[in-house]
Chain A
């Protein structure tokens, strides 16, 4: 029996990632070096964004003999696994394709989120840590880098970057120029592919730049009047001297948000509210600073108009869509203000009058309640939003503000009434449910109120804090609130 054995390469990818191109390159590379190569795949409908696998075997020929190669990877007998996404690397490990004695695992560490991760109303993103841990422990050699970023930076596709990483890994007995010649011979997008290849090669050799560390949110006041700057300076000092460093950090974020959202007086009000909670339970300071700021900077029409008309936003859009220097970019906003939002943006008395009078509501519905496309790069559209953003100075008198403030105060009163700091903490964190616009906002509000309403059921229970956390997680797990209702029903069954 001949001891010869082929080099086995499995590529796991999602449809549209160019897995077929990559396996084609590997076959061409080997054939170009006089090797015998066999590649196959099971694309089917998986090419429509689903997970799929390509498999290649390479062997040095022997005169007069034809090798019998496998059409599918054999667990424990794969030399190279190339994963075009982190979770696909995880899937390859799960399938037993990666073995510690044999397999070089080359993976792009970027995440392309699956549908189930994206649709959660909260954070449904799966934890990457178990994949990294398995990738390191289960493979002979783990080559991981964000190949997708390299592809985007070089204007190419991930398959070329992975091909570069494969060359650098040394897993195949072919020199770098043979890899590059393969790309040249294929003759499609050669320049960009070679750049991407070089990027992947360097990344696999660990020559990539480390990501810059995030900047701390500390700084000096700018803009506004001298008096306002002085008050802001004093407020920041108060945060840094009266609070522990982690709370001060969060407070600084909150202050920055609220002066931006409204004014210095609003930020002072905020620090006072946080101080009150922190005074009661110092362990709550960070979460109080986070959630009170978020509650005070509620999302309203004025805020949206303000954010959409800023210079910084205009340049961010150009960056996001990768507009080139000579290209002109026109932006159109998709908005749909309903009667509720229009009334909420009126002075309190007037807004209530409109809300309660069916005739006036009808007028508003007919006159205003419809989808609107606002071109913020044209003068009329920009001016409209610019003027709405300017309504900020009257915000405190508007119907919406009164309601938000009342809701916030009611929430903080309940938080402060808790005998247990743990329960209070969970209640602070639950404010995260209130977010969004229109229906989303009312749904979040409804869930939040349900949790508040369920507090009575938890009275006297030692695990009350734990239950509040569970209720919140349930509320974030689905959109229609079925899981939350189920969890509340469970609590009710305890009695």
Chain B
């Protein structure tokens, strides 16, 4: 079960013709898939497309009624391979992942798929994780489209355009026998808007029909001589077919403007930003009317040379607005114009930034620069620059990177790792992809590299030298099942690695939104779970395996690390640190507990506190734990200048702070308070009895205590 419930959104998938759909972009895509008669959907979760997967996972009922096969793939490679169903059969299929991280993983299958070509529409929905809010390396999916010859759609970021792009994409794919990628940037995935729905379509050709009528065409298989034929087919047939379809259907849009000596060519996804930039200069309005002609590339690959030439012909200068490096479109545009012998000046990365997100500021500065350079009369004089000086702010506003949640079971792993390194010396630690990578930041400062999802252990492959201080690799359960079992553990076992591998088993693919995986403890309908990681690593031959079922037990974690780093055992030392992701656990348990208390049932809720008069304000506990609910406050004591530690009411009572302060022998300030709701008669009796004696003792000492009454 994912972090968020999509029960309401699932109902929106049932909207029929004429109904208004309201919601975020990525959910509109989901609805558009059903309207397009998709036969199967697969994918791998990850921001910004997680919600597409999550809502479909919650929509089994509708999918069943329509006969749509849905699966949560083990990786993007598995998802991409799923599209093989559309190679031989006229089934429409869609897959999704975050890019470019996921596209990298999927590349092998995508290359084969695009070489084979498709019969049924094959759509890849790409969450372009680029710019602010992104969590991955900054690259462009465009390169994949070019190298494998897949078409790339980049629609204007509003729901009707996005939905139309999905529908067009299937037809384009079928018309040109080529897989199509639909690229949506982060903000477009999350944009809230509306569109008028159509009825859902049952697949025209179903998976069942395909299974009952197997087709075999050796020319579709990537093996010589067919592979050479595919290459020719791509160039001679599929490309022209795509160009024809795009032109015939007018997938790209041209908006005329009175200042026809200039023009802007823009990726569809950048359209709203360009309009806003022009609006700031008085050259467009909020309704999309523009004085500068615009050519909007809702399809950014392939480019339609004739259309580009037609748009540019007779213009003095044209600005190419293309986000990200390198400037593939600008180069292609220049080539197209050169070939057509059109000498219009092409501006682009010379006035806009080569790399980085095209924010509102970058766009408005770039458009202004372009206009100033080629027709100064169109732009108002720049207001005299009086940029306020924010250096005083810069000195105080602290960075706030993402971190482990309150009560996160991964934190004690890194507390123990800190302690073991204090004891045995610093070690080389390799990270992976997942929440555990947050250990890179304060307060842990652990981890020297990340090579990709499930590649933590293999990224210490070279760092193996028996007798030298052992390297440590960290990998989550998400990464483990994505790639890590073979490339991480299998590789380490086969090559007899000496290092330590920490597998963080938190029962979910937590960083992507808490989706279930093979080792999840939940039992979601239609999925097979509860396959222990321990069995898997032993299955590929790991010998030294330790499982810890409560990561909050810092002394045990510490002892296990100590053993792993010092044992003379041969082969990788594998520690499986298991405790449920607290975010998901709270989501699961909180409503149950609240209901139970409401029913009058006895409940004990632990939470932690710090005695402010015992705390001396050194904050060693925070440096070792880093829990968000562990903070500092003014001591309120003039004799104690440093702020003291305080635990806020978000505390979930995991106990890590107390365990850490105990294991590291920090201080006795921590207490655990067990709050008993609906106490039993026995509870009350004992409590009263103890209370009477304790109160008597306390009163006795209080009357004898000399003090100053204020």
Contacts and interface: CB of A to CB of B under 8 A. Distances in A.
Given A1-B285, A4-B285, A122-B642, A94 B668 contact: no
B662 A335 contact: yes
Contacts of B693: 379
Interface string A186-215: 000000000000000000000000000001
A49 B402 contact: yes
Interface stretch (B211-219, B286-294, B518-526): B286-294
Contact of A87 (B283, B398, B609): B398
Contact of B641 (A123, A219, A264, A311): A123
A308 B187 CA distance: 52
A243 interface: no
Contacts of B638: 217, 250, 253, 290
A280 interface: no
Interface stretch (A221-229, A413-421, A486-494): A221-229
Contacts of A122: 617, 641-642
B671 A94 contact: no
Given A217-B710, A330-B676, A69 B286 contact: yes
Contact of A436 (B271, B288, B639, B667): B667
Residue from the set B271, B616, B683 with the largest chain A CB neighbour count within 10 Å: B616
Contact of A331 (B132, B285, B641, B673): B673
Interface centre among B283, B442, B632, B667 (most CB of A within 10 A): B667
Interface stretch (B103-111, B237-245, B329-337, B389-397): B389-397
A119 to B, nearest CB: 5
A462 interface: no
A299 to B, nearest CB: 6
B192 A229 contact: no
Contacts of A43: 47, 133, 190
B192 A44 contact: no
A327 B605 CA distance: 10
A116 B495 CA distance: 41
Contact of B286 (A4, A254, A307): A4
Interface string B375-403: 00000000000001010111111111111
A68 B288 contact: yes
A112 to B, nearest CB: 7
A377 B405 CA distance: 30
Given A93-B390, A133-B392, A309-B698, A49 B287 contact: no
Contacts of A24: 192
Contacts of A436: 616, 618, 620, 666-667
B392 A40 contact: no
B677 interface: yes
B435 interface: yes
A115 B626 contact: yes
A87 B641 contact: no
Contact of A323 (B279, B402, B662, B675): B675
A326 interface: yes
Given A71-B273, A74-B360, A229-B706, A94 B390 contact: yes
Given A1-B284, A46-B402, A311-B699, A72 B273 contact: yes
A494 B662 CA distance: 43
Contact of A119 (B186, B190, B442): B442
Contact of A224 (B392, B404, B706): B706
B623 interface: yes
B611 interface: yes
A458 interface: no
Contacts of A309: 697-698, 701
A131 B280 CA distance: 28
Interface residues of A, number: 149
Nearest to B187: A71
A52 B186 CA distance: 13
Interface in B272-331: 272-273, 275-276, 279-280, 282-289, 291
Contacts of B695: 311
A212 to B, nearest CB: 13
Contact of A45 (B273, B397, B402, B662): B402
Given A96-B361, A256-B707, A379-B693, A334 B662 contact: yes
B286 A6 contact: yes
8 contacts: A5-B286, A220-B708, A236-B708, A304-B614, A321-B607, A327-B676, A328-B675, A373-B672
Interface of B: 22, 47-48, 129, 131-135, 157-158, 160, 186-188, 190-193, 271-273, 275-276, 279-280, 282-289, 291, 359-361, 364, 388, 390, 392-405, 435, 438, 441-443, 511, 555, 607, 609, 611, 613-614, 616-620, 622-623, 626, 628, 630-632, 638-643, 649, 658-659, 661-668, 670-679, 683-684, 687, 690, 693-695, 697-699, 701-710
Given A49-B404, A260-B706, 7 more contacts: A48-B403, A48-B404, A87-B397, A119-B619, A122-B617, A123-B643, A435-B616
Interface of A: 1-6, 14-16, 24, 27, 31, 37-53, 59, 62, 65-75, 77, 87-88, 90-91, 93-94, 96, 112-128, 130-131, 133-134, 138, 152, 215-225, 228-229, 232, 236, 250, 252-257, 259-260, 263-264, 290, 293-294, 297, 299, 304, 307-311, 313-314, 317, 320-324, 326-336, 338, 371, 373, 376-379, 382, 386, 389, 432, 435-440, 444, 476, 479
CB-based closest 3 A-B pairs: A42-B133, A224-B706, A50-B402
